[in-house]
Structure 1
Amino acid sequence: MKNKALVIGLTFLAASSAQAGLFANGGFESGNLSGWSQGGGSNYDTNVVKPAISTYNGGVSNNTVVGVGTDAITGASTVYSGNYAVRVNDDYNNRSLSTIYQSVNNYTDNNIFFAWNAVLEDSHFTYDSDYFSLQLVDNTTNTILVNRSYSSAGSIGAGTSGVTWSQFGSWFSSGWVVENIDLVALNAVGHDFTLALLAADCPYNGHAGYAYLDGFGAKPPVRSVPEPSSLLMLGLGLLGLVGIRKKVAAK
């Protein structure tokens, strides 16, 4: 009887685990956008209040899966963890606006992690510049757990702590920011969630905005690609070792 009860219990646990929600292709390691929904269009919005990300669901998107490399403007890694990430929108200023989002139901892990990096071109005012926004919503309680929203004018560096913006000529970048949401502390294990990200050019066809997203899942994304500055230091160090060996050999 005990063995039979154990088998029944394990079968129930297996069934429960199978029903638990998982993020699909959260690190884009499939090399495509499977598991993700997209939207987009053109940004003609010059109002102070920006429209909700969901406004553009189903529209024409401008999202690209990128491999390991460096961003042409900032020199930062295009990928935070693994071999792929997604770039939402691009650096061409043509009023484009793009979104990417994914929902998961009955998410039973204790944490949600993801990494993002926004790149915005210096523009007009807070209400009519290129901009970036990101939200992680607990659909079960209708609560916004993470709410990032930045314009390239005025609000750079302001808002939620943990973001230090750097300037590259006429561009600003947040650098890679890793979010860690402790669902145990929030009493939210087993809830339904949606992550949505939007990046948009300014509405006057003059300035661009885009962002990278990587590592959406239950485990913290592991930094696997050194920044260009680190690679430079490593290269100089190797050159130094070569020089020392040559001097030793000469003696």
Structure 2
Amino acid sequence: MRKLIASLAAASLLATAVPAFALFTNGGFETGDFSGWTLTGTGTSLSQVITAGTAMQPGQTLDINPYNGLYMARLQDVSGLFHTTQLSQTGAITQADLNSGGKLYVNWGVVLVDPDSHIGQLPPYFSIDILKNGSLIDSFYADASNRQGGGWLLAGYASWSGGGYGGTGDMYYKQDTYAYDFSSFDLGDTLTISMNVADCGYGGHGGFAFLDGIGTTYEPPTVPEPSTLILLGAGLGGLALWRRKQRK
């Protein structure tokens, strides 16, 4: 019986650890790197694909783990110094993309340092741009001062200096899913997604973004649980199913 529970738990973890996302290559970053993506800007050296074991940023108190699978992308870090970073990829629309429902999803999160010393003026920000055949057709934007849409959580306190610049401020975090309906696209049309994060325009306050689950398959962000609870839940669920089958 113990072997059965362990096998069911392992199978459950394997099935959920590596979700597949269509339209874009490596939409869940499960290769452990940025394969398939174009990473540009002045903050590329600060960006990485992270796991649940990746250390938090200085001053960060809210632990943020991959939303889907074992990996997700993090663009930039808490440091300021005028960094801007862009992650992009272009995909051609196929019949399978249209048959899947014709929607693009991005599980995103962002931590932005609130520059209370210059509220409303050039704060750190995060944005998503969608292009059809090279032309901008949709965009999303959020910044540290206005914290658009509500639902922001206090994630720590930043105190940074470097390169002759420096700043302090509360770190605010928000996680959400961006969705775009491309069902009106024709076969062969190209869809480009560009995700961008930037420090404040005065150089003293940083911002960093988390990206996962990018593609036509919606995978709800996972709720962090201790690994022991995951194993126990998977095992007990499988055991209950096995017992029901035995009664039939």
**TM-score normalised according to structure 1 size:** 0.64
- Which of the numbers 63, 68, 72 marks the counterpart of 2:47? 63
Cα-to-partner distance string for 1:168-225 (whole Å, 9 max, x where unaligned): 35111112x11233333xx12533111111111123332110101111112112434x
- Which of the numbers 201, 209, 219 marks the counterpart of 1:203? 201
Letter aligned with residue 94 of structure 1: L
Cα-to-partner distance string for 1:15-35 (whole Å, 9 max, x where unaligned): xxxxxx931111111111111
- Aligned mates of 2:63, 2:129 — CA distance in 1: 23
1:45-84 matches, cutoff 5 A: 62-69=46-53, 71-72=56-57, 73=60, 75-84=62-71
- Aligned mates of 2:38, 2:141 — CA distance in 1: 20
- Aligned mates of 1:74, 1:219 — CA distance in 2: 31
| More strand per residue | 2
- Aligned mates of 1:98, 1:133 — CA distance in 2: 11
1:181–1:205 CA distance, 2 compared to 1 (3 A): closer
The structure 1 segments of at least 4 consecutive aligned residues displaced by more than 4 Å after TM superposition are: 69-72
Letter aligned with residue 218 of structure 2: P
- Which of the numbers 125, 130, 148 marks the counterpart of 1:157? 148
The alignment partner of 2:194 has SS state of: strand
Return the index of the structure with the highest Cα Rg: 1
Letter aligned with residue 185 of structure 2: A
Equivalence for 2:137: 144
Q: Does 1:126 align with 2:113?
A: no
Higher relative contact order (CA 8 A, sep 6+): 2
Equivalence for 2:32: 31
Equivalence for 1:102: 89
Q: How far does residue 166 in structure 1 lie from its aligned partner after superposition? A: 2.1
The alignment partner of 1:174 has SS state of: strand
Q: Is the 8 A contact 1:38 1:61 kept in 2?
A: no
Identity of counterpart residues, as a percentage? 28
Letter aligned with residue 183 of structure 1: F
1:146-225 matches, cutoff 5 A: 147-153=139-145, 155-158=146-149, 164-169=151-156, 170-175=170-175, 177-184=176-183, 187-190=184-187, 191-224=189-222
Equivalence for 2:23: 22
Equivalence for 2:80: 93
Q: How far does residue 120 in structure 1 lie from its aligned partner after superposition? A: 0.3
Q: How far does residue 61 in structure 1 lie from its aligned partner after superposition? A: 5.3
Q: How far does residue 76 in structure 1 lie from its aligned partner after superposition? A: 4.4
Q: How far does residue 69 in structure 1 lie from its aligned partner after superposition? A: 4.5
- Which of the numbers 94, 113, 125 marks the counterpart of 2:105? 113
- Aligned mates of 2:23, 2:74 — CA distance in 1: 22
For structure 2, which runs of at least 5 residues remain unmatched after alignment? 1-21, 157-169, 231-248
For structure 1, which runs of at least 5 residues remain unmatched after alignment? 1-20, 43-59, 236-251
Cα-to-partner distance string for 1:115-150 (whole Å, 9 max, x where unaligned): 10011001123332221111122227x3523x2212
- Aligned mates of 1:201, 1:30 — CA distance in 2: 28
Q: Is the 8 A contact 2:38 2:88 kept in 1?
A: yes
Q: Is the 8 A contact 2:89 2:194 kept in 1?
A: yes
**TM-score normalised according to structure 2 size:** 0.65
1:23–1:128 CA distance, 2 compared to 1 (3 A): same
Aligned-residue CA RMSD (Å):
2.8
Letter aligned with residue 129 of structure 1: P
